A and B are shown apart, each in its own frame.
Chain A
């Protein structure tokens, strides 16, 4: 577990260095709508961009504005200051307006040797699915052309199986985390997720298996309440540690870097490209899907039930539109179901914000404690 935590806390981890040392290429992406299997099938390392709570944005602020979310500004900062110079390519998706702006500015200032824009519909009608299938095919062709490789169906199926194996392990970690005796803290789980998105699938499988074995009979730390965390893209392990430090153990989540990235996988076609396109678009549990709120709500409600959650924190980065609004919806629906909920807006990467957040969480835990005493939980 310690090795995972260490490797998940640096951008250019030892697996990336080893991979590059062998003369192999790394391709960065930011959004969970990116079918990483295409990158992997081409013999490349798919690397999910993270900012790891980086608070500096002085270079990025010359391009993006202070009205853009801090996460995207931090990513841009790392793109422009050379931290991500090890990348051999970038995949843009229209995950949100801020992310689009981040990629546009990155490309404008410091073009990547390979850049492809994967356009992801915001709806899941038949027309939209047809469109996205072609998009995934074009993505595959662009990778083939630039890197001079042919991606055969068998290669894609193998990559799909590899990623399925990673997802299976992540589901197991979640099962151990959500159970009566949580085997992983929220901070540890986020580290595992971050790790799995920036190293080769084989390394993920091996290391997560080891962590699972290590934590078989693990006793969780003392805690005051079992919490669920929902909201914006957040790779801030420290922030979760802060919440857990005051007794709110995060036992499940609906985060972009969390369950939403791997929860459900269904393949319904013999054509790997079609299978990938359908799987990624139909299962995209993201508030950028503008006709899909009921599914997101139901997912959260079922996780609350499954993980016996005492309260839910819905959090968004300042200026994040899609989560900012969705969280209001979620708060209303959770309250309607009698589930305590704390709605938080935060500045990404701002350690100065931690004190305020700790206070809010402490107050929330007291509220939950009071509720548990009077036994009025729905």
Chain B
């Protein structure tokens, strides 16, 4: 029997998750240290941060959910199921409803690669560049898709693109992967039209997608199958809304890293028991911290809404560093999917409810709107007001040209309408080569010390700030 070390991102990440899947549900510091000691430096750093004592039990639950999802893909392949690559802005519960298909989300895999692999997935980015793809591709999916294109890795049977209308660069790489691998591409276009006609058109596209997927799978999506995931999706919605409300408390009882966990659940496992279990633990821990008024720093200095993505290549020095310095991360643009309950009374209402969820997925909902700036601005302003933020930060992910093209409008309007300042950073959210985390930290520090806290000392325009709730 031939054995060799896995070389593709999927295979390497799933090997790592096999280990995590075997961890006990709770671990002492000594046990964790023993486990981390076996891991390469890059992985040890990320995992050490994720498993910080204050969030360890929930993090293990989350990571086990992710492990179950990814190992489930391997099992599904062995069982002859079709593996469908989906983007982050496509609600995976539709694919979970099939018995014969299984979703893997490219952005989650890229993020896991960046957080959990030695070399942080950069080799897969380089593989994509080696094909001649432009260096302004989006690393969020090009890292994973680079692995599929350029290495011996787990290959999907089809790809869904929900990017047309919301993001050109994503839509183009989906098209490229489809042709390069000679696999079908299923497109869910978002009309850039906020009118009733636009919404109805989206429903038509969504229903056609469902029918096309049924044809591809050779399986009918019955009402019972759809209801199974829709009911679980509703439970997820309930918990997610509870978590949103918990963010409003001062100091914020929700750990920074839960922003990432929330959309990790949304993009991979929404509509499953595992998702419900993970969200429940996140809510429970946040409630406990609320009761105990627990906060990682001496005081909450700033409450930040991240206007679009966060940074993912250095978890300890981003999420953990922020909260240890009193900078609460109230969520980022990827958390802005505003879940709603799906009416489960019939097959038709469930599909319509799922279409509504898809319409409200991040990016689709904001820059895929009729106006790229208005829809996005409304969500950021809503989040800032609802969650009592006193600052916003745009991470400035290089590839994200649509947000970059209207970021100045967002910054101006946010200040004009709420008095909240927005810091504009530049970097690649998934690749450390572009802007080092030390620079990101310095800029955040300067901004909070010189702009946010100074405003709070009397220059603000009536914005609720920490300690005034």
Chain A residues in the interface with B (C-beta under 8 A) = 62-65, 67-69, 72, 94, 96-98, 100-102, 104-105, 108, 117, 119, 121-123, 125, 127-128, 131, 134, 287-288, 290-291, 293, 316, 318-319, 321-322, 324-326, 328-329, 331, 343, 345
Contacts and interface: CB of A to CB of B under 8 A. Distances in A.
Given A68-B401, A97-B168, A318-B136, A329 B176 contact: yes
A150 to B, nearest CB: 24
B115 interface: no
Contacts of B404: 64-65, 67-68, 101
A325 B401 contact: no
The 10 lowest CB-CB distance pairs between A and B, nearest first, are: A101-B405, A324-B134, A325-B172, A321-B169, A97-B402, A122-B164, A65-B404, A321-B168, A328-B132, A67-B404
A122 B176 contact: no
Contacts of A64: 404-405, 408
Contacts of B164: 122-123, 290
Contact of A67 (B173, B198, B372, B401): B401
Contacts of B402: 97, 100-101
Contact of B191 (A105, A131, A324, A329): A131
B400 to A, nearest CB: 8
A324 B198 CA distance: 29
Contacts of A316: 134
B175 A293 contact: yes
Interface residues of B, number: 47
B10 to A, nearest CB: 22
Given A119-B193, A123-B187, A321-B134, A104 B179 contact: no
B179 A293 contact: yes
B179 A290 contact: no
A290 B169 contact: no
B189 A122 contact: yes
A290 B160 CA distance: 12
Contacts of B401: 65, 67-69, 97-98, 101, 319, 321
B175 A290 contact: yes
Contact of A97 (B137, B167, B187): B167
A290 B175 CA distance: 6
B14 interface: no
A325 B371 CA distance: 25
B202 to A, nearest CB: 10
B398 interface: yes
Contacts of A101: 372, 401-402, 404-406
B409 to A, nearest CB: 5
A328 B406 contact: no
Nearest to A61: B408
A290 B136 CA distance: 18
